Structure 1
Amino acid sequence: MAGIFGSAGAAAANANPTQGDLSKDVMVQNPPEDSISDLRFSPTGDYLSVASWDKKVRIYEIANDGSSQGKAMFEHEGPVLNCCWSPDGSKVFGGGADKAARMLDLGANATQATQVAAHDQPIRCVESFNTNGSPMLVTGSWDKSVKYWDLRQSQPAASVDCRERVYSMDVRGDQMLVVGTAERHIHIIDLRNPTKFFKSMQSPLKWQTRVVSTFTDGTGFAIGSIEGRCAIQYIDDKDSANNFSFKCHRQTPATDRNNSNVYAVNAISFHPQHGTFSTAGSDGTFHFWDKDAKHRLKGYPEVGGTISATDFNRGGNIFAYAVSYDWSKGYSFNTAQYPNKIMLHPIQGDECKPRPKTGKR
């Protein structure tokens, strides 16, 4: 295994250029005991935080050879629905069904988490960004509000009311926050004016929003829905001609070629260097895409269960995905035999590189 995860430039030998290879993927040791709701790599180090329904946030250290070990953990009083890191990588946050957000300060070698935010309903999303050199936490809740928290104060620094329950959020640097809510509403916030919506719109997708994820350059975002579609959306009206949507995570049974099985898009992650992105879904597959070329780079075989969360590490040479029940079919399908694991996929060769640009369209 040595060296597989050490370089993003290793060659990948594959007879089918669009068929991805899972054979070198490595399992993270000692995964959560219940469904995995979120996972995030540290922006500054080789650490992975994982939120789960067993009420815990775990932090793993990931080595270059793909091996892993648990380094820290903190607990909520209910299922944890989301997690994130502070921009300097010193703090890990969790938000959960206990209507609280909690923080573990790794920089202070803390062993106990402190509550840093509260809502009237479960906190579905947590993100962190810097403002005037200090980390700010932003939380999105099913109480239809987004709140900003200065970690030195117990009351929110600001709050903004959304049209509906918050289902997904993503922040890009200290500039932009995108919020996806119930009833397909999308709110875009300029973080320099955080209590006003810079723009509000309805998702171009006709079905419920599952995930929003911002482009690496901050010019737009991707939306995934429960109906096996992804939309690419630019913020500036002058770029609107580049907006498009496409089908993904659908399967056509061999016995019925006239109909497709449709699966939710659970996770979208952008590659930190190349700006390409992944989608992962309830069908148990993930794919890498080039939005500018409108082209699928790689598709991967089914992994044996639904994929509930994904992320690239800061170097772009590891893609983590959680194989875990996503609750898309209700509680009765969450059996004791259902897989619950975190896998690390080494990015090799040109897996995530955009297509070479040519003079022709």
Structure 2
Amino acid sequence: MTAAPPPSTGRELSNPPTDGISNLRFSNHSDHLLVSSWDKSVRLYDASANALRGEFMHGGAVLDCCFHDDSSGFSASADHTVRRLVFNYNREDILGRHDAPVRCIEYSYATGQVITGSWDKTLKCWDPRGASAQERSLVGTYAQPERVYSMSLVGNRLVVATAGRHVNVYDLRNMSQPEQRRESSLKYQTRCVRCYPNGTGYALSSVEGRVAMEFFDLSEAGQSKNYGTFATGGCDGYVNVWDGNNKKRLYQYAKYPTSVAALSFSRDGRLLAVASSYTYEEGDKPHEPDAIFVRSVNEVEVKPKPKMLPNPAT
């Protein structure tokens, strides 16, 4: 038996993936957690009960996953397929295909579409509502300047980050061309992009460990907006919570056994899921087993500290 982790790392989920964890996401409706892995699986957990509720096997590594609702979800695989997962029946079917591994997947509640990004340098939008494969349709294919590395959406806005430090911002109601074409303000390759929940912009991280906070509104007033608190996880095994407005670290959790490959907050912010999974930044070497930790989030860890006002002159 292995020793229990320190309390500050959270509770470790049983039955973790057997190879690298590519992503994990909480449901928008419950404490269910969906986890994709290089072991060709997607696993569904009840994070509060520490119970594995379902497992779906693919023909290749699974590089991303997302929920539709608590009864179904979607996955993106290195075998070039996009799949729909039906949890209650433990069934999966192929929604569509790309010409190369599918790196990213999102479900848009605004349009009812599944959006995928691939290393074939395209985005594809799918209508998943048909009862059979013949009834489902490819809504559109949109060329990208390079391989898609990360995507995020909020409302009708979709942000796509590709190789070559390109960033395209789309309005899902008009995908004919990007609303904005940008270049990452960071020097090195993009690692991850995530939209702000309030819809005003996005956070962009790169492989050297830096994070840039960007806004959709390019006006001077738009660029001076606040962006609150956020969390980052790194190859150093640490999760940090930041006060974005004051550019200060609020809290650092105890070190995890190996690299932090992915993070996800639950819908109400009470829980944080952490994928402790070596990301091969130092090549093939012995490393700790892949694990998923779920920890409770305390207000003191995420609430910005009030600014100290100078003493009035006497």
The 8 Å contact of residues 229 and 302 in structure 2, kept in 1 or not, is answered as: yes
Matched, 1:137 2:114: yes
Distance 1:348 1:102, change over 3 A: same
Q: What's the CA shift for 1:95?
A: 0.4
2:95 is matched with which residue?
116
State the SS of the aligned residue for 1:48: strand
The 8 Å contact of residues 205 and 231 in structure 1, kept in 2 or not, is answered as: yes
1:271 is matched with which residue?
none
Q: Distance in 2 between matches of 1:22 and 1:353?
A: 21
1:27 is matched with which residue?
12
1:280 is matched with which residue?
233
Distance 1:208 1:240, change over 3 A: farther
Equivalences for 1:254-333 in 2 at 5 Å? Answer: 275-330=228-283, 332-333=284-285
Q: What's the CA shift for 1:22?
A: 5.0
Equivalences for 1:69-84 in 2 at 5 Å? Answer: 69-84=51-66
2:142 is matched with which residue?
160
1:45 is matched with which residue?
30
Distance 1:355 1:231, change over 3 A: same
- For structure 2, list consecutive stretches of 5 or more residues without a partner in the other structure: 1-5
Q: Distance in 2 between matches of 1:219 and 1:340?
A: 35
Q: Distance in 1 between matches of 2:120 and 2:167?
A: 16
What is the CA RMSD across the aligned residues, in angstroms? 2.1
Q: Distance in 2 between matches of 1:276 and 1:23?
A: 20
State the SS of the aligned residue for 1:23: helix
1:148 is matched with which residue?
125
Distance 1:74 1:282, change over 3 A: same
Equivalences for 1:143-292 in 2 at 5 Å? Answer: 143-151=120-128, 152=130, 153-173=135-155, 175-238=156-219, 239=221, 241-242=223-224, 275-292=228-245
Distance 1:300 1:163, change over 3 A: same
Distance 1:298 1:162, change over 3 A: same
Q: What's the CA shift for 1:294?
A: 2.2
Q: What's the CA shift for 1:293?
A: 2.7
Q: What's the CA shift for 1:183?
A: 0.5
Matched, 1:56 2:37: no
Distance 1:90 1:275, change over 3 A: farther
Q: Distance in 2 between matches of 1:72 and 1:57?
A: 8
Q: Distance in 2 between matches of 1:57 and 1:79?
A: 10
Matched, 1:345 2:295: yes
State the SS of the aligned residue for 1:113: strand
The 8 Å contact of residues 232 and 243 in structure 1, kept in 2 or not, is answered as: no
The 8 Å contact of residues 46 and 61 in structure 1, kept in 2 or not, is answered as: yes
Distance 1:235 1:191, change over 3 A: same
Q: TM-score, normalised by structure 2?
A: 0.89
The 8 Å contact of residues 59 and 72 in structure 1, kept in 2 or not, is answered as: yes
1:149-169 Cα offsets, whole Å, 9 max, x none, are 001244410121111000000
Q: What's the CA shift for 1:92?
A: 1.3
- Count of residues in correspondence between the two structures: 299
Q: What's the CA shift for 1:230?
A: 0.5
2:105 is matched with which residue?
126
Equivalences for 1:72-111 in 2 at 5 Å? Answer: 72-86=54-68, 88-106=69-87, 109-111=88-90
The 8 Å contact of residues 233 and 243 in structure 1, kept in 2 or not, is answered as: no
1:260 is matched with which residue?
none
Q: Distance in 1 between matches of 2:46 and 2:253?
A: 26
Q: What's the CA shift for 1:296?
A: 1.5
Q: Distance in 1 between matches of 2:90 and 2:253?
A: 39
* Identical residues among aligned pairs (%): 38
The 8 Å contact of residues 104 and 148 in structure 2, kept in 1 or not, is answered as: yes
Q: TM-score, normalised by structure 1?
A: 0.78
